[in-house]
Amino acid sequence: MYQRFAFYTLLTTLLIAFSTLLSAQTEFYPEEMIVSASALKLRSAPNTTNSMTIETLQRGTTVKVLGVHNNGEMVEVNEEYAPWYKVESSTGKIGYAFGAYLKGTYFLWYEDEPIDGNLPPLNWYGLYRRDSFADEIRKIEVRVKKEFSEMYDAEVEILKTNQKDTSKFIIGTTKILKTGYAGPLGIMDSPGWFFEGGLNPGAMLPISTGQMPGDTTYGETYFLAATGCASLKDNFVQITGYKVQLMEMYSDNGTGKSQDLTPWFQYMPDMNPSVQLLWYGDLDQDKLPDALIHDCPIEMACRTSLFLSSQAKKGEIVRKVCEHFWYGD
């Protein structure tokens, strides 16, 4: 019991540190979230002591996120740590809900990774290698199983699936995704090809949807281009002016679509950017590429972000819909 408590205490400490360090930077929170508790109170203020209950939200209820209180500051409520979100319910009522019992309507995770066990009621899909040329998406079932972790020297809750194969990653969503072809193998299976996944200054990586079997049309291809200046400073190569741009590969007039993705990636001022393309394909099957991109905003934690073309707003090619954190010791 003590070991398990120590593990979650460590995780909570890292969450608080991560939230504090990113509070002054570009903040990400989902546009919609789903209630994962059996019931959650929508309150008139972001606290449990002097706020009234406006409405009780049932498990599975979707709310619109209007903002996050106090720059996403992590607070403790009943031994749970999370920020307070300002949300609008499906009945049009506006109030504050505690984030420990809310999950994004897109949820990114990996098999055999520790999870808090409070799984939201979502549709679950796994991304798998189908053959030597393509990936596929499968409808799956997920469960939480307790296992001993040598890394944490404690018994922790692990995410498992009902599949014999191990997935590349897992997505939970309120949306219905088409199963089957999900794009080419992507960067996860292309070591030794003409490019690798690192988005260091000077890198220009193509991402595409591939071509579904039996389809005579090929989906769009875009480039992820990383730029910046490197200079020697105190016996250390320092990169400044770092940017990541998503650009259309071909266009009729030579000035194709482009989107600056730089605001989604962070790094400490005294550290160089560490951004990497992990996967690309067509999860939503709209013939526009989607991507998983990894960055390390602080020394003790990294994250993987899922970008989907189907959720893009006007003037965008893709939009970030969720993120998964990897915490160090």
Class of domain 2-104: mainly beta
- Residue in the block written with tokens 């200046």: 229
Q: Token pair for residue 175?
A: 């949306």
What's the pLDDT tens digit per position in 176-232? Answer: 999 999 988 776 554 444 457 899 999 999 898 887 777 777 777 899 999 999 888
For residues 116 and 22, give the distance between their C-alpha atoms in angstroms, rounded to a whole number. Answer: 22
| HSE-CB of 215 using CA atoms within 13 angstroms | 12
| HSE-CB of 228 using CA atoms within 13 angstroms | 22
**Helix (H) or strand (E) segment spanning residue 292:** strand 290-298
Q: What is the mean pLDDT of the chain?
A: 85
Residue 51 has a pLDDT of 94
Q: Is 253's pLDDT higher than 80?
A: no
Please give the average per-residue pLDDT across 153-173, as a whole number.
Answer: 94
Domain ranges of the chain: 2-104, 106-173, 188-327
Q: Where are the alpha helices (DSSP H) in the chain?
A: 2-22
How would you class 70 by CB atoms within 10 Å of its CB: exposed for 0-12, middle for 13-18, buried for 19 or more? exposed
At 256, the pLDDT band (50, 70, 90 cuts) reads confident
Amino acid symbol at 322: C
Residue 181 has a pLDDT of 92
Please give the average per-residue pLDDT across 308-317, as a whole number.
Answer: 95
What's the pLDDT tens digit per position in 97-134? Answer: 999 999 999 999 999 998 877 788 899 999 999 988 88
Q: Is 152's pLDDT higher than 80?
A: no
For residues 316 and 237, give the distance between their C-alpha atoms in angstroms, rounded to a whole number. Answer: 33
For residues 259 and 246, give the distance between their C-alpha atoms in angstroms, rounded to a whole number. Answer: 5
Q: Token pair for residue 176?
A: 């219905």
Q: Is 301's pLDDT higher than 90?
A: no
Classify 211 as helix, strand or coil: coil
Which residue would you say has higher pLDDT here, 126 or 237? Answer: 126
Q: Is 250's pLDDT higher than 70?
A: no
Q: Token pair for residue 67?
A: 């903002």
Q: Is 9's pLDDT higher than 90?
A: no
